[in-house]
Structure 1
Amino acid sequence: MASAAEQLVANLNLDAFRSAKELHQRIWFTLGAMVVYRLGTYIPVPGIDPAAFQRAFQGQADGILGMFNTFSGGAVERMAIFALNVMPYISASIIVQLMGTFYAPWEKLRKEGGEAGRKTLNQYTRYLTVVLSVFQSFGIAMGLSQSPGLVEAPGMFFTLSTVVTLTGGSMFLMWLGEQITARGIGNGVSLIIFAGIVAVLPKTIAQMMSLMELGTLSVAGVLVIAGLAFALVVMIVFMERSQRRLLTQYPRRNQGGLAFGGESSFLPLKVNTSGVMAPIFASSLLMLPATAVGLLAATELPAWLDWLPAVSGSLQSGRPLFMVLYGGLIVFFCFFYTSVMFNPVEVADNLRKYGGFLPGLRPGRQTAEYLDFVMSRITVIGAVYITAVCLLPEALIGYYGMTFYLGGTSLLIVVSVTMDMVTAIQSHLVGHQYESLVRKTRLRGGARRDEARAALI
């Protein structure tokens, strides 16, 4: 049976959307933030020759830098001020969350600190984002300075200005993502990555059409890609809505001559608790060593590092080593993020606190062990699903030898973030309808009281 919220969502109409003024403001704020982000991806770093850099980038466009360029909305190939995107912030979040499970003071902040502890960890994440941005931007500045023809006046001033510009751009995007989360629609960081991918998709499709005209890609290959994309979209929608529902019951109790409780409900456990964060985390971590290996392999190396070019070539999209590392990191982060987001002991304690229990299980430890048992097994299904979605297109790229990047990670992020945005909009509309219903009820109640008073007078 559908819940009250589901019934309200099913009966939503255009009038309800027109009257939701706060939702309009949130949507306009989100759109304005996306426009600002897209403008920043076209402002090049000072001192760079954009045409020369774009020509140099074409040789690396089908590798790990191609994935990075897709996530940044083309800012990498233009070496724009937002070239780092939000990847330093994501990497910092990974490190802080990992430390929150191993480092005792941070673990205490995460578990017992409440809202104040969460704000403290968020502040640590921001500080670490600055550090990672400085290191990455310094590496980029040094790599650009050593490449002939890319920098107009290489030197200390160019290095300093590049570090400040790229670090400032990354910090601005981090702030912009937080503002979108607080004042807009959906998760701000995910929306920034979503906007970058959507902006690059038309160019990717145009490149695929040009390959077909040149005969590099056959019509059958295009049909295979289109069919696979459609099948992946259907799979993503189905799996993202899949849940394991555990029956929970609440005992009936009498208080003041009235009976309370005695109901039964469901505890929903999502098959994919990690959402899009697992592939995003895996991509951000894989980019760091792959980029470092690529930069080192492009320079003159001593004899004992002759193996680096081979490793750099193996870390390209569609290569076996890349797929193994990428798949392994996705599986790891699926379980890691699920363990961070879902605590079976805490859920079992909350059930016991409110008098709820799972049929056939004792409240407390036995319930927590069962929840951990169920969650571990459905996370296996979720990890296999996400790995398949992300790696199947990679295998297709390697098989057809495409020179452009079109990954399942991008498709997963686009579909998942779109579904989250629709859910957020529906939630705001449902809340607005509830508020309208409460106001109408109060008005009707006041009118009835006035009528009763008039009748008494």
Structure 2
Amino acid sequence: MLETFRNAWKITELRKKILYTLMILVVFRVGVALPVFGVSPGALKSMVEGSGNLLGYLDMLTGGAFAKSTVFALSITPYINASIIINLLTIAIPPLERLAKEGEEGRRKLNRITRYVALGLAVALAIAYYFLLKNQNALTYTKGFSGIFSAIIIVATFTAGAMLIVWLGEQIDKKGIGNGISLIIFAGIVSRGSTVISKAVAYFQLAAEGEYKYYIYLPIILVLAVVVIGFVVLMTNAERRVPVQYAKRVVGRKMYGGQSSHIPIKVNMTGVMPIIFASSIISIPGTIKALFFKNATKGFWASFLGLFDYNSLAYAIIYFMLIMAFNYFYTAVQYNPLEIANNLRKNNGTIPGIRAGKPTVDFITRILSKVTFIGAIFLGIVAVMPIGLTAISGVNIALGGTSILIVVGVALETVRTLEAQMMMRHHKGFLE
């Protein structure tokens, strides 16, 4: 990876793209630190610190801006939700499905629709965020005309911040390196590294004061983190290759086709999306508890919502099952075995030993089912492992499985993009 960046830096055009990308990420980090008029910074910090609720999850995606109540407090969350909604509606609504199949022009129209949906979600989330701040007594002006004017300014600022991040991501796509939205999320998560270091220092101080168990737990957790990262890299690149043989055909005096190929089916074909869906769903009870039952210790609701505490066994089991379910669901939405089989038949391709038609569909379905199961187990283990380590050792793992998957996935994707760019520039062409 370092060798790839070193070689890319030697190429002037790629060096400009890398510097442009870094400049955009610096602008993003500046926006994370900019305060909002009429809002007390850090008012939600105590509420967000409970990592088992939705607010803690949002704070992770925003790189800490949510807890600080800064300009980029909503970050890329509205755009991510809008993209998920549009992708799901593309399967259910025929006009959107037709747009998705119209090539570049259709994708542009879908992107425009996604931005409009993101704008609507940003306004709704900004209003909800305003009332959350108001309930926490974090606003300077709340009454009379000054309160109304302040509310309009705060909602507009949060909305503008969310849409500005979308624009920054698009600029990286056009003039930089890698996927802009992914890199912004990557920068937000990596910025939490200082939190990890400060917590590690605090645990070493506890060990020096007599809590000797931390001298054992911290090195073990460090080794496991390295192993998990290697495991994530391995599974991210792993794929099941289904062999395909194309029939020979004669056109005039020439023979075409007859070559062998394969259909690559990635083990982790859904990426981090099942974990994002599962985290959003399972975090709702913890958020309700933080908002309405914060001081409750007795009663049905306190006991029921307590099952969803981050370090509880019930939380880990439900979380794991939700990841499995969403992984199967997202795979079913993205991959259609019937469509794959039809495309093979149109191109005179067959899977060796499998008849065309329904047998091919059944074969691809079985392969997808097995690969999806392995991918779901992989995602579940990576997501639940930090919870188990926290429960056993008492060491709060600041970067969870979602963070590791996003960071490793974006890093691998960016390196592949750089390698592709360098390969294009080193290709001598047909005239030399």
- Alignment TM class, shorter chain as reference: 0.7 to 0.9
Query: Which 5+ residue runs of structure 1 have no aligned equivalent?
Result: 1-8, 445-457
Select 2:368's aligned residue among 375, 380, 387: 375
State how far apart, in whole Å, the 2-side matches of 1:344 and 1:185 are: 33
Give the CA deviation at 1:101: 2.7
Larger CA deviation: 114-123 vs 200-209: 114-123
Question: Which protein shows a greater Rg?
Answer: 1
Evaluate the alpha carbon distance shift between residue 133 and residue 286 of structure 1 in structure 2; reply closer, same or farther with a 3 A threshold.
farther
Larger CA deviation: 182-191 vs 100-109: 100-109
Evaluate the alpha carbon distance shift between residue 392 and residue 422 of structure 1 in structure 2; reply closer, same or farther with a 3 A threshold.
same
Give the CA deviation at 1:235: 0.9
Secondary structure of residue in 2 paired with 1:76: helix
Select 1:210's aligned residue among 194, 202, 215: 202
State how far apart, in whole Å, the 1-side matches of 2:355 and 2:314 are: 47
The within-5 A match list for 1:11-410 is 18-19=10-11, 21-50=12-41, 53=43, 56-57=46-47, 60=50, 63-110=53-100, 112-148=101-137, 150-154=138-142, 155-215=147-207, 218-287=214-283, 290-298=286-294, 307-310=300-303, 313-403=306-396, 405-410=398-403
State how far apart, in whole Å, the 2-side matches of 1:404 and 1:13 are: 30
Conserved 8 A contact 1:394-1:408: no
Give the CA deviation at 1:195: 0.7
The within-5 A match list for 1:414-453 is 414-434=407-427, 437-438=428-429, 441-442=430-431, 444=432
State how far apart, in whole Å, the 1-side matches of 2:8 and 2:286 are: 50
Equivalenced residue count is: 422
Give the CA deviation at 1:354: 2.4
* Counterpart residue identity of residue 123, structure 2: V
State how far apart, in whole Å, the 1-side matches of 2:20 and 2:129 are: 32
State how far apart, in whole Å, the 1-side matches of 2:38 and 2:4 are: 53
* TM-score, reference length from structure 1: 0.82
Conserved 8 A contact 1:293-1:311: no
Query: Over residues 368-387 of structure 1, what are the superposed CA-to-partner deviations in whole Å (9 max), with x where a residue is unaligned?
Result: 33222211210110011011
Conserved 8 A contact 2:49-2:56: no
Evaluate the alpha carbon distance shift between residue 322 and residue 136 of structure 1 in structure 2; reply closer, same or farther with a 3 A threshold.
farther
* TM-score, reference length from structure 2: 0.87
Give the CA deviation at 1:38: 0.8
Give the CA deviation at 1:404: 5.8
Conserved 8 A contact 2:82-2:117: yes
State how far apart, in whole Å, the 2-side matches of 1:39 and 1:79 are: 13
Query: Which 5+ residue runs of structure 2 have no aligned equivalent?
Result: none
Evaluate the alpha carbon distance shift between residue 76 and residue 314 of structure 1 in structure 2; reply closer, same or farther with a 3 A threshold.
farther
Secondary structure of residue in 2 paired with 1:218: helix
* Counterpart residue identity of residue 397, structure 1: T
State how far apart, in whole Å, the 1-side matches of 2:166 and 2:8 are: 33
State how far apart, in whole Å, the 1-side matches of 2:45 and 2:148 are: 25
Give the CA deviation at 1:249: 1.2
Over the aligned positions, Cα root-mean-square deviation in angstroms equals 3.0
* Counterpart residue identity of residue 188, structure 1: G
Query: Over residues 265-319 of structure 1, what are the superposed CA-to-partner deviations in whole Å (9 max), with x where a residue is unaligned?
Result: 222111111122332343345556643553233599xx9xx65555554444333
Conserved 8 A contact 2:311-2:387: yes
Evaluate the alpha carbon distance shift between residue 243 and residue 76 of structure 1 in structure 2; reply closer, same or farther with a 3 A threshold.
same
| Identical-pair percentage | 35
Conserved 8 A contact 2:245-2:259: yes
* Counterpart residue identity of residue 190, structure 2: V
Give the CA deviation at 1:170: 1.2
Conserved 8 A contact 1:64-1:316: no
Give the CA deviation at 1:17: 6.0
Evaluate the alpha carbon distance shift between residue 204 and residue 16 of structure 1 in structure 2; reply closer, same or farther with a 3 A threshold.
closer
State how far apart, in whole Å, the 2-side matches of 1:206 and 1:90 are: 30
Conserved 8 A contact 2:8-2:418: no
State how far apart, in whole Å, the 2-side matches of 1:204 and 1:18 are: 33
Larger CA deviation: 155-164 vs 383-392: 155-164
Query: Over residues 145-198 of structure 1, what are the superposed CA-to-partner deviations in whole Å (9 max), with x where a residue is unaligned?
Result: 2223x3222332332222111111111112222332333222222211111111
Larger CA deviation: 345-354 vs 162-171: 345-354
State how far apart, in whole Å, the 2-side matches of 1:62 and 1:325 are: 13
State how far apart, in whole Å, the 1-side matches of 2:238 and 2:349 are: 24
